């Protein structure tokens, strides 16, 4: 059985790149394109979404799941009692013969990051995880791009170009674009999870262009998003508990093809949230995950159309 592999189709050393993770679960035909996403999970499951609903959200996509150690520790006793391991407990297939991901540490100290990168680059690993920019993945939403970019750019220069680079956390869409332009390959769904927890929906319109090896994003509808008082970067989200949606009989996002937008209105979801109905977060999760995966799909399509440049 072949181990999981990562390859670069667009080997741009100084910009955005298109790659592929191959041989997932030992299947040579199972692959995931990057820049891509790994599902954030809690207690082995995607928050608010059942396994059956998840398959309907992105039926044509191969997906990866991130099982954070702290959340796994919360349910170690049920897993132990089942006596069949984590895979059987959560009902999902995970990577077999997985590749090793090496953590690049050092916080915001560039010298320590470089030292970590130089040491780990001597090992045969699948890729590298950039960690330690915040105490938890949620607070990354408030970190400006320029704060992390200098650290990332200086460190990546000391890593092999053909290895995968991973950076989890609730990075905002504009920071995601900057990180992709720095050569990051894999992210997670922490942002759509947090947006759902705030009872909001991802709704921003964007225009992507490519020039000189870099992806550029123009946000077209910043003025329509209702900014929450405690969120200073909420150009990308709509607050569904706001009373203006009481008689708003339109979908969360015009022309969105997710299950939520096809069948439900902002008014209905507003009602569900005010009534503390469990279907409210479910419908928001369906939309936010679909929207976020489409965002990355559009980025990959742009890179694919320009990979010969």
At 72, the pLDDT band (50, 70, 90 cuts) reads low
118-160 pLDDT tens trace: 999 988 888 999 988 987 767 888 888 999 999 999 999 999 9
pLDDT at residue 94, rounded to an integer: 47
pLDDT at 230 over 50: no
Indicate which CATH number applies to the domain containing 234.
Answer: 3.20.20.105
pTM of the model: 0.86
Q: Which domain holds residue 231?
A: 5-305
Domains in the chain: how many in total? 1
Lowest mean pLDDT of 162-176, 185-199, 223-237, name the range: 223-237
Does residue 38 surpass a pLDDT of 50? yes
How does residue 78 score in pLDDT terms, banded at 50, 70 and 90? low
Task: Give me the pLDDT at residue 183, please.
Answer: 94
- Average pLDDT of span 43-72: 74
Mean pLDDT (the chain, rounded): 84
Q: How many C-beta neighbours within 10 Å does residue 201 have?
A: 27
Q: Over range 264-269, report the average pLDDT.
A: 96
> How many Å separate Cα 280 from the centre of its chain?
22
pLDDT at position 90: 57
More reliable by pLDDT, 61 or 130: 130
Share of the chain above pLDDT 90, in %: 52
pLDDT at 298: 97
């Amino acid at each position: 059985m072949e181990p999981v592999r990562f390859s670069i189709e667009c080997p741009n050393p100084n910009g955005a790149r298109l790659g592929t993770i191959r041989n997932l679960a030992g299947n040579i035909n199972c692959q995931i394109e990057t820049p891509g996403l790994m599902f954030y999970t809690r207690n082995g499951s995607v928050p608010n979404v059942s396994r059956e609903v998840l398959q309907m959200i992105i039926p044509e996509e191969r997906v990866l799941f991130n099982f954070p150690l702290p959340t796994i520790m919360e349910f170690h006793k049920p897993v132990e009692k089942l006596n069949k391991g984590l895979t059987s407990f959560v009902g999902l297939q995970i990577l077999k013969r997985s590749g090793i991901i090496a953590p690049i540490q050092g916080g915001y100290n560039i010298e320590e990051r470089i030292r970590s990168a130089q040491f780990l680059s001597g090992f045969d690993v699948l890729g590298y995880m950039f960690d330690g920019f915040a105490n938890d993945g949620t607070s990354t939403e408030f970190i400006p791009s320029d704060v992390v970019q200098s650290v990332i750019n200086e460190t990546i220069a000391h890593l092999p170009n053909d290895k995968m680079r991973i950076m989890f956390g609730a990075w905002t869409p504009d920071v995601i674009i900057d990180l992709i332009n720095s050569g990051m390959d894999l992210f997670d769904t922490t942002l759509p999870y947090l947006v759902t927890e705030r009872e909001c929906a991802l709704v921003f319109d964007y225009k992507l262009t490519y020039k000189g090896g870099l992806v550029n994003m123009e946000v077209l509808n910043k003025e329509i998003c209702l900014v929450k008082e405690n969120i200073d970067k909420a150009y990308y989200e709509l607050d569904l508990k706001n009373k203006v949606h009481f008689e708003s009989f339109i979908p969360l996002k015009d022309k969105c093809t997710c299950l939520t937008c096809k069948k439900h209105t902002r008014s209905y979801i507003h009602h569900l949230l005010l009534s503390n109905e469990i279907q409210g977060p479910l419908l928001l999760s369906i939309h936010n995950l679909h929207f976020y995966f489409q965002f990355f799909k559009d980025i990959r399509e742009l890179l694919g159309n320009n990979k010969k440049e």
